Amino acid sequence: MNIKHKRDVIIACDFPDGEKTLDFLALFGSERPFVKIGMELFYAEGPDIVKKIKSRGHKVFLDLKLHDIPNTVFSAMRSLRTLDIDMCNVHAAGGQAMMKAAIEGLTRPDGSRPLLIAVTQLTSTSPEMLRHELLISHPIEEVVMSYAQNARAAGLDGVVCSPLEAERVHAVCGDDFITVTPGIRFSGGDMSDQVRVTTPAIARELGSDYIVVGRPITSSPDPIGAYRRCLADFIG
């Protein structure tokens, strides 16, 4: 499936409820940023919040990171395919059979479907954690590249990875394979719980297709200014 995409900034709307989210999005006036809805908001509000945000004209990345047996992921995606979302995801750690089942479940009767990407390693995972907690002895970069290749082989459109890995993912999986990169911070900003991070400008240099930015925008005293700064630094 050949889906065209362009570089964009996706705002991670990690708010506890729909009211706070819609109030936040109203700050943007007629601008309609690409929005990421994650577990916190989806579990609080259900599919209704997706419909409300879509009806206001935003693109939506539904970030539920599915990871289960192939049959369950297939059925979950069957439910999600009725929502008019633009992007959603699974964990590549679920394996190729699970990722293929996800595509099958997500594909609508007319053959269309949202972009489907796979989480490689969370950007909060450090090399030490990978080795000592998860008992994965390969270097993190190798693990990410191998997971990305699995996702590509299963027919997915791209991966969620650190911006620091975007260049290599493109080298290994091709330029048309999308890299969606959280772990974005302004220089000198608070790292919070993210480990493998970089700035919007460096993410652009490294070839990220989409940056996902949460707290640097949502917790900013000037969210519009922070969003515009991301757009200017990432897209130009």
Catalytic residue list: 65
- Integer angstrom CA distances of residue 150 from 115, 179, 231: 16, 14, 31
User: Considering the rule CB under 6 A, would residue 182 count as an interface residue with ligand C5P?
Assistant: yes
User: Considering the rule CB under 6 A, would residue 122 count as an interface residue with ligand C5P?
Assistant: yes
Q: Which of these, 48, 173, 55, lies nearest to 118 by C-alpha position?
A: 173
User: Considering the rule CB under 6 A, would residue 159 count as an interface residue with ligand C5P?
Assistant: no
Of 12, 98, 115, 145, the one binding ligand C5P by CB under 6 A:
12
Taking contact as CB under 6 A, which single stretch among the options 25-33, 90-98, 104-112, 176-184 is the one that binds ligand C5P? 176-184
CB atoms within 10 A of CB 71: 12
Report how many residues bind ligand C5P under the rule CB under 6 A.
Answer: 17
The answer to whether 121 and 148 are in contact (CB under 8 A) is no
Distance CA 84, CA 32 (A): 16
Query: Least CB distance from residue 10 to ligand C5P, whole Å?
Result: 9
User: Considering the rule CB under 6 A, would residue 158 count as an interface residue with ligand C5P?
Assistant: no
Tell me the torsion sign for CA atoms 61, 125, 194, 187.
negative
Beta carbon nearer to ligand C5P, 88 or 184? 184
Taking contact as CB under 6 A, which single stretch among the options 52-60, 103-111, 148-156, 180-188 is the one that binds ligand C5P? 180-188
User: Considering the rule CB under 6 A, would residue 223 count as an interface residue with ligand C5P?
Assistant: no
Q: Which of these, 236, 228, 232, lies nearest to 33 by C-alpha position?
A: 228
- Integer angstrom CA distances of residue 49 from 44, 78, 116, 217: 9, 18, 20, 20
Beta carbon nearer to ligand C5P, 106 or 230? 230
User: Considering the rule CB under 6 A, would residue 114 count as an interface residue with ligand C5P?
Assistant: no
Helix, strand and coil in the chain, % to nearest 5: 45, 15, 40
User: Considering the rule CB under 6 A, would residue 213 count as an interface residue with ligand C5P?
Assistant: yes
Taking contact as CB under 6 A, which single stretch among the options 42-50, 101-109, 134-142, 212-220 is the one that binds ligand C5P? 212-220
User: Considering the rule CB under 6 A, would residue 66 count as an interface residue with ligand C5P?
Assistant: no
Tokens 């975007």 belong to 166
The answer to whether 90 and 145 are in contact (CB under 8 A) is no
User: Considering the rule CB under 6 A, would residue 115 count as an interface residue with ligand C5P?
Assistant: no
Residues near ligand C5P (CB under 6 A) are 12, 14, 38, 119, 122-123, 160, 182-184, 192, 194, 212-216
